[in-house]
Structure 1
Amino acid sequence: MLIAFMIFIFIIVIASFLYSFTFSKKSNVEKVNSNDHIEITFEYNEPRKTGKLLRDFPANYTIIDVETTGLKPREDKIIEIGAIKYRDNKEIDYFSTLVKVDYIPNFISSYTNITNKMVKNAPRVDEAIKQFYDFVGDDILVGYNVPFDIKFLYDALYEVSNGELLLNNDFIDVMYIAKRVLKDLENYKQVTVASYYNISIDNLHRAMGDCKLCSAIYECLQKDILEKWGAFNKFYKKYPKIKNKIENNKNE
């Protein structure tokens, strides 16, 4: 009887320890706001200090795209970075690099056509991300669902620079513009919007291919806005909350 009681007490103690350990680890990663939105923060308890979402169509900007091993910026890795720089709405330069990682899952290779062999001799992320950072400078960043790309790039840059370098460029999300201009699409995947505009799709799910596709969609959306509203500022007035829909979730 005594032995059974001691075993029971031992199990209770172990269970309590495991619960406390799990909770304490989790509390370093997640913070629950009053609106029940879970904000994922860095282990050093600092949210990303990214730039602002812009509602504008500037003449000078850089379109960006990354390919990754998965969807989680704090767990998965960048395997390719692409960027195209524009001045006066004309392409003047580009940046493209594969990124060496330890392993690319087979399903990612099937999706992107990027294999482990291809990245074997590529630069590591510390070299690649700093080259990207130097290339974009303080340009406005444009992309399709660009918060996804920015989260990966921000985290990688922060990590390799020990927090000394921040990707805090202002940005424009082409997907959110598409959702407000095009109302009757089945979905708003980049390929769906491209098909709507009869844009040829080449090298899909590669960083440079997706940058070029995003650029073509961005141009078509600008033309649509001018035709439907006559001026960009009328479009902005119709959708004044576009800004907050990104910023409220930028730290996920």
Structure 2
Amino acid sequence: MAKCKRCGKWGIFLKLNSFGQCEKCEKELAEAARLERERKKAAFWEELNNLPHAEIRRDGVKQKAQSVSYLKEAMTYPRVTAKSNPAKFADFVVLDTETTGLSCTKDAVLEVAAIKVMGYKFVEVFHTMITPPPQKLSMDSAREAMSVNGITPEMLEGAPMLYQIIPSLQEFIGDMPLLGHNLEFDLKFLCRAGLDVTPETRRFYDTYELAGHLLKKPKWSYDRETGGYGPNYNQNYDVMDYKLETLCAHFWIDRMDAHRALGDCVDTAKVFRYLLEKKIDTTADYDN
């Protein structure tokens, strides 16, 4: 007869999972794990909400859309080596937006979030919803995006326009390094509205770019059976892709609020720290 390793129940027809647990115990453990995750998230958000929140004014003036073609050339990323000094990367502002689509010219920003990090610790929060132009909110791409991030039109009522909060965001980031996941995407929307990130001393960190250097994706090879090219899962690889969700799963990071700007800021900062720890030798003599 089968016996549950957890509750000790016996039975001829008792079904056990791969851990030797009966169905009842399996459900109880799953529910306990879910409640623990929710408790940890609630405690974390309480801690985050107790941090200083930046004052967000509405004194920005609407101006002609700025060119963002310079960003790709302006955004260079520091090289991370085993001898890099981890203290060099400890202070930054992590930034994220939620938008109605992928085009900075056709789509609009719905939410902006940034967290100031000092010594790898969160110290101040910038967060606001954004009222987009009505015509951009009614587009099919907007409805599709909002079905993913869970943002509703009601959540945007009374929110400032993007250009109105740019001076406050400019003050918040100051001259600090900027971190994001596919950071160029977010900056295109913000810089088009007037944000200036061009100081020569500015550093940029991107977890998407950094993961591409430190983690392997499956290599593609020709498959005779299908007659085409595809990922070769028989070879060693670390991750399927470099999406934020994939990287969080790889590093066993419980996502705080997926597909929302503030939650993605938190997760991006955590992924950044894990990527640095993966590469940097903490016993090395630091050369930079």
TM-score by length of 1: 0.67
Find 2:242's aligned residue among 180, 188, 196: 188
Deviation at 1:200, TM superposition (A): 0.3
1:153/1:167 contact within 8 Å kept: no
Kindly provide the amino acid, as one letter, of the partner of residue 181 in structure 1. Answer: L
Match of 2:185 in 1: 148
- Written as runs of structure 1 = structure 2, the 5 A alignment for 1:110-125 is 110-125=147-162
Can you list the C-alpha shifts for 1:67-120, whole angstroms capped at 9, x where unaligned?
Answer: 111101111111110101012222110100000112262211111111111112
- CA-to-aligned-CA distance 1:186-236 (integer Å, 9 cap, x gap): 1111100110100001211100000000011011111101259957869xx
Q: Secondary structure at the match of 1:138?
A: coil
Distance in structure 2 (CA, Å) of the matches to 1:209 and 1:64: 11
Which of 71, 76, 96 is the matching residue for 2:127? Answer: 96
Q: Contact 1:53–1:173 (CA<8 Å) still a contact in 2?
A: no
* 1:149–1:88 Cα change, 3 Å: same
- How many pairs were matched up? 186
Q: Which residue of 2 aligns with 1:221?
A: 275
Unpaired segments ≥5 residues, structure 1: 1-41, 158-164, 235-252
CA distance in 1, matches of 2:255, 2:203: 28
**Residue in structure 1 matched with residue 143 of structure 2 by the alignment:** 106
The residue number in structure 2 matching 1:77 is: 108
Quick one: which amino acid aligns to residue 125 of structure 2? Y
Match among 146, 171, 175 for residue 208 of structure 2:
175
Identity %: 27
TM-score computed with the length of structure 2 as normaliser: 0.59
- The alpha-carbon distance between structure 1 residues 170 and 115, as it changes in their structure 2 partners (threshold 3 A), is same
Note if contact 1:63-1:141 (Cα within 8 Å) is conserved in structure 2.
yes
- Amino acid in the other structure paired with 1:148: F
Task: Give 4+ residue runs of structure 1 displaced > 6 Å after superposition.
Answer: 42-46, 231-234
Matched, 1:48 2:79: no
Tell me which protein shows more helix as a share of its residues: 1
